[in-house]
Amino acid sequence: MTAPDPAVLAARVDRVQDRIAAAGGDPHQVQLLAVTKGFGPEIALAAAGAGLIDLGENYAQELVAKAPVVAERFEVRWHAIGRLQRNKVRSLAPLVHLWQTIDRLDLGLEVAKRAPGARILVQVNVSDEPQKGGCDPGDAAELVARLTDAGLAVQGLMTVGRTGNPAEAQAGFRLLRGLADTLNLPVRSMGMSGDLEAAVAEGATMVRVGSALFGPRPSVPGAPAGPR
């Protein structure tokens, strides 16, 4: 696969920032996480070249493969945004800037062991869709407390909106916002290419965007299709 034309990518970044602004967000405040999963390292390099230095990956093996290639030319921050198995934590520990999908204590404790003091977000399932990751909203406070006790830097909450109509996702984003406020957590990672307006309207501080920047993803062998 070839890298996108830098002018095309720059125009897409502008377009996403316009969408953030149109939804009432300040594009300088809402962090844009470029989701490079499913693409080769050339897309991650193109993103970094366009100034997108926060990059999101779902699969450990992809992140581990791309990080050294990108590091030769750019200093980027990798975000782990996929469902995570405990046995993948060790290989990711030296590479991950922000672990966004910590949704259970045993996983968090493994991160605390392999990357003491790491920055994390607690993933919350606000849509009641069992195929998605995330703890129950009612369990978030306890989990945040236990992870903090384990020495992790809990910076905020993350969620994947309800699949389908973005208007339906919005109630879930509002719930995440309220939960983060109650727990005094500043970071709210929510919204993707299809529903970022709804997330920004509800106070997202970070949106995770793949296809709106890079086009449709090539399929990842062995990977589940949708965001989890």
Ligand X SMILES: *Cc1c(COP(=O)(O)O)cnc(C)c1O
Q: What is the binding site for ligand X (CB under 6 A)?
A: 35, 37, 58, 81-82, 160, 192-194, 208-212, 227
Q: Residue 79 — φ and ψ, nearest 5°?
A: -115, 130
In terms of CB distance, is 124 or 209 closer to ligand X?
A: 209
Please name every residue paired with 123 in a beta bridge, in sequence order, or none if there are none.
158
With CA atoms as reference, report the closest residue to 127 among 77, 170, 183.
170
The least distance separating ligand X from the CB of residue 116, rounded to whole angstroms, comes to 25
In terms of CB distance, is 102 or 192 closer to ligand X?
A: 192
**Using an 8 Å Cβ cutoff, are 33 and 209 in contact?**
yes
The least distance separating ligand X from the CB of residue 155, rounded to whole angstroms, comes to 17
The least distance separating ligand X from the CB of residue 67, rounded to whole angstroms, comes to 18
Please name every residue paired with 14 in a beta bridge, in sequence order, or none if there are none.
none
In terms of CB distance, is 82 or 166 closer to ligand X?
A: 82
How far is CA 153 from its chain centroid?
Answer: 16
How far is CA 161 from its chain centroid?
Answer: 12
In terms of CB distance, is 161 or 203 closer to ligand X?
A: 161
**Using an 8 Å Cβ cutoff, are 100 and 189 in contact?**
yes
Chain residue whose CB lies nearest ligand X: 210
The least distance separating ligand X from the CB of residue 127, rounded to whole angstroms, comes to 13
